Every structure is written in structure tokens, then in C-alpha cells.
């Protein structure tokens, strides 16, 4: 079995009285796009900073590529690319010079570095802006530059801390597609976000965290199976008898039924045949119906059921 890329065991990080990470555990395998999902202040950035040994912690261990991570683990750090939440580029350097500077921290060979810088510029689509200074770039382009600086040296592990905050949809899509491409090219990705749609779209596995704890971990499908609510079926119907409503309540996997304003709403758990079971019953009863729609749970529902609060803040 291959060595996990990141192993975090029993990590405790306090800022004075505040416990930012509370016996936090996490293992990330090679080839994953791993999502750390949690509301503001849940401890995502603290986790990243501990993985990078940028922060001293109170208890626990962090191993990267099977070795203990220390502030002076330069050979490990060389294999990691980091894109932090705040854009960190030099205002007095152009797009090209910025990427070249950050790449040069790891790649000494000049010809190879030139190639890597070109690859990074291509990758984030900044070809037309290579001579621009950062202050001339829009927020989205600046984020792309920030990403290019973090990944130009072709690291094996790439950590992106909320890279799409406040970017326009075009740049956002470009960033998400880019992350998937980096992963296809062999990089393991750690991606933090409080946008559940993004995490759902690109991550192979997700940890839901809150108050410094890892509350649930799994693929999107596994997380959704952990909660009671799995499907809401709504059907427009002119009229239903109380006995028919009661009979629908008795259908397997149904746990809540309401009928208001000519709309039947059925909450179901588990099972993949909830909709046909309900429609079959209505047809048997000669009940005619209009619009039918089914909503599957979101990661927000998972978060809501586990923590009792919305993911969005």
C-alpha cells in the first residue's frame, strides 16, 4: 500500500484560550482532490498552516509523504505548492517576473525554469497579461496569478486555501477546471472552501469540519448516505383524501408527508425507488398529478443534520 500524502493525528492547536483544532485527525491519499469544508472560523486555515509547519501546535503529529513535517523540512516543502487565501505577489514585478521569482525558489536550472514559467502562464491563461503589473489585473486574474506562483514548480502536493473567494464566474470555472487538470497530471490536491457546490463538483473526498473537529469524512455520496433525509419528492395534485395521505406515509422509506396548497411533499430516506413507489400508488388510486420533482440532499443538508446549523454564514 502506498504511503499517505498527509497524515494528521490528534492535532491540537490553541490560540490562548481558543481551541482552533481539537484532536483533529485526517489522512489524505495520493491522487485525491481532498476537500476541507467548513464555515468561517472552523479551523481550515489553521489545519493548512499546521500541515506546512508554519504554525507550532500544542499536540499531535503531522506527516507529509510519510515523514514528520518540521519548519526546516525544506526537501518536503519543495514538493508542496501553496495557494493561500490572501493574494501574495510582488507589486513591483510583472506577471512573468512574479511567476519566475516563485518558481526560482525551487527550480535552479534556468532553461527548465523558463519552460515551467511558460507552462504556468499557459495553464492559468495569462498569456496576454505576462507584462502586466499586478495592480492592472482584475480580482479574478490576480487570483490566477497567485495560483500560477504557487504551482509553477510542479509540486506533487498542492494546497489551495479558498482560491475562488470573490472571483468572477469565468475565473472561478477556469480555476476549478485547472485544479482538476493538475490532479489528472498527477498532483494530490487539498482544497479548502466554504462553498459546498465547488467542493461537491471537484473533490473526490471531503471532510466536514466545525469548531476544529472533523465531523464526517467520505465521498459526496457517502456523506449524503450518512443523513436521514435523502430525497424530497414534490408532486402537484388537485386533491388527496386523508386516507391516501396516510397510505403514502406507510410506503417504505417515507418518513414525512405533507399536503398543502395542492402540493404533496414526501420526505424519504435511503432507497433509490422512492419516486416510482409513490407514483405507482397514485396511479393505482387514479389520482391525476401535474409537475413532479425530486430534490436530492446537498452537502449543506449533511452539515445541517450533523451540526444543526447552515454551512453558509
Nearer to ligand ATP, 25 or 94 (CB): 25
d(CA 216, CA 218): 7
19 binds ligand ATP (CB under 6 A): no
Pick the piece of the chain touching ligand ATP (CB under 6 A) from 13-21, 114-122, 123-131, 218-226: 13-21
Exactly one of 20, 84, 126, 268 binds ligand ATP (CB under 6 A); that residue is 20
Q: What is the H or E stretch that residue 199 is in?
A: helix 196-202
56 binds ligand ATP (CB under 6 A): no
Exactly one of 63, 143, 194, 224 binds ligand ATP (CB under 6 A); that residue is 194
Q: Which CA distances in Å does 99 have to 70, 123, 160?
A: 26, 12, 17
43 binds ligand ATP (CB under 6 A): yes
Nine-digit cell string for 260: 398543502
45 binds ligand ATP (CB under 6 A): yes
Exactly one of 8, 32, 42, 82 binds ligand ATP (CB under 6 A); that residue is 42
Pick the piece of the chain touching ligand ATP (CB under 6 A) from 40-48, 91-99, 279-287, 297-305: 40-48
Helix (H, G, I), strand (E, B) or coil at 58: coil
Tell me if 266 sits within 8 A of 256, measured CB to CB. Answer: yes
In the complex, the smallest distance separating the C-beta of residue 167 from ligand ATP, rounded to whole angstroms, is 15
d(CA 167, CA 163): 9
Tell me if 216 sits within 8 A of 208, measured CB to CB. Answer: yes
163 binds ligand ATP (CB under 6 A): no
- Residue in the structure block whose three cell numbers are 489528472: 184
Nearer to ligand ATP, 107 or 175 (CB): 175
Which letter, b or e, does each residue of 269-301 get, where b requires 16 or more Cβ atoms within 10 Å of its Cβ? beeeebbebbeeebeeeebebeeeeeeebebeb
What are the residues whose beta carbons fall under 8 Å from the beta carbon of 131, sequence distance 6 or more?
Answer: 94, 95, 96
CA angle, 229 then 232 then 238, to 5°: 145
Nearer to ligand ATP, 87 or 93 (CB): 87
Exactly one of 4, 33, 35, 46 binds ligand ATP (CB under 6 A); that residue is 46
Tell me if 179 sits within 8 A of 202, measured CB to CB. Answer: yes
Exactly one of 1, 2, 17, 18 binds ligand ATP (CB under 6 A); that residue is 18
Nearer to ligand ATP, 46 or 220 (CB): 46
Nearer to ligand ATP, 282 or 299 (CB): 299
- Phi, psi (degrees; rounded to nearest 5) at 26: -165, 135
Nearer to ligand ATP, 48 or 117 (CB): 48
- Label the pairing between strands 263-268 and 231-237: antiparallel
Exactly one of 4, 35, 38, 140 binds ligand ATP (CB under 6 A); that residue is 38
104 binds ligand ATP (CB under 6 A): no
Exactly one of 3, 10, 40, 122 binds ligand ATP (CB under 6 A); that residue is 40
Binding residues vs ligand ATP (CB under 6 A): 15, 18, 20, 38, 40-46, 194
Amino acid at each position: 500500500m502506498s504511503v499517505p500524502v498527509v497524515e494528521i493525528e490528534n492535532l491540537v492547536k490553541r490560540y490562548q484560550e481558543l481551541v482552533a483544532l481539537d484532536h483533529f485527525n485526517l489522512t489524505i491519499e495520493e491522487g485525491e482532490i481532498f476537500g476541507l469544508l467548513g464555515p468561517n472560523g472552523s479551523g481550515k486555515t489553521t489545519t493548512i498552516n499546521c500541515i506546512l509547519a508554519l504554525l507550532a501546535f500544542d499536540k499531535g503529529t503531522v506527516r507529509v509523504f510519510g515523514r514528520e513535517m518540521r519548519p526546516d523540512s525544506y526537501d518536503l516543502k519543495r514538493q508542496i505548492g501553496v495557494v493561500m487565501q490572501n493574494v501574495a505577489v510582488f507589486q513591483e514585478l510583472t506577471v512573468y517576473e512574479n511567476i519566475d521569482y516563485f518558481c526560482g525558489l525551487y527550480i535552479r536550472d534556468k532553461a527548465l525554469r523558463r519552460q515551467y514559467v511558460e507552462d504556468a502562464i499557459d495553464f492559468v491563461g495569462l498569456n496576454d497579461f505576462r507584462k502586466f503589473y499586478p495592480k492592472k489585473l482584475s480580482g479574478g486574474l490576480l487570483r490566477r496569478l497567485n495560483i500560477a506562483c504557487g504551482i509553477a514548480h510542479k509540486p506533487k502536493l498542492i494546497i489551495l486555501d479558498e482560491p475562488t473567494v470573490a472571483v468572477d464566474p469565468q475565473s472561478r470555472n477556469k480555476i476549478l477546471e485547472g485544479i482538476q487538470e493538475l490532479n489528472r497530471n498527477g498532483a494530490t490536491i487539498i482544497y479548502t472552501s466554504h462553498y459546498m457546490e465547488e467542493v461537491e463538483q471537484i473533490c473526490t473526498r471531503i471532510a466536514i469540519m466545525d469548531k476544529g473537529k472533523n465531523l464526517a469524512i467520505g465521498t459526496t455520496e457517502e456523506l449524503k448516505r450518512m443523513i436521514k433525509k435523502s430525497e424530497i419528492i414534490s408532486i402537484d395534485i388537485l386533491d388527496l383524501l386523508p386516507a391516501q395521505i396516510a397510505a403514502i406515509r406507510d410506503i417504505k422509506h417515507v418518513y414525512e408527508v405533507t399536503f398543502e396548497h395542492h402540493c404533496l411533499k414526501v420526505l424519504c430516506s435511503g432507497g433509490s425507488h422512492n419516486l416510482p413507489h409513490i407514483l405507482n400508488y397514485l396511479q393505482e388510486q387514479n389520482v391525476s398529478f401535474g409537475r413532479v420533482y425530486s430534490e436530492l440532499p446537498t452537502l449543506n443538508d449533511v452539515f445541517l443534520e450533523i451540526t444543526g446549523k447552515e454551512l453558509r454564514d
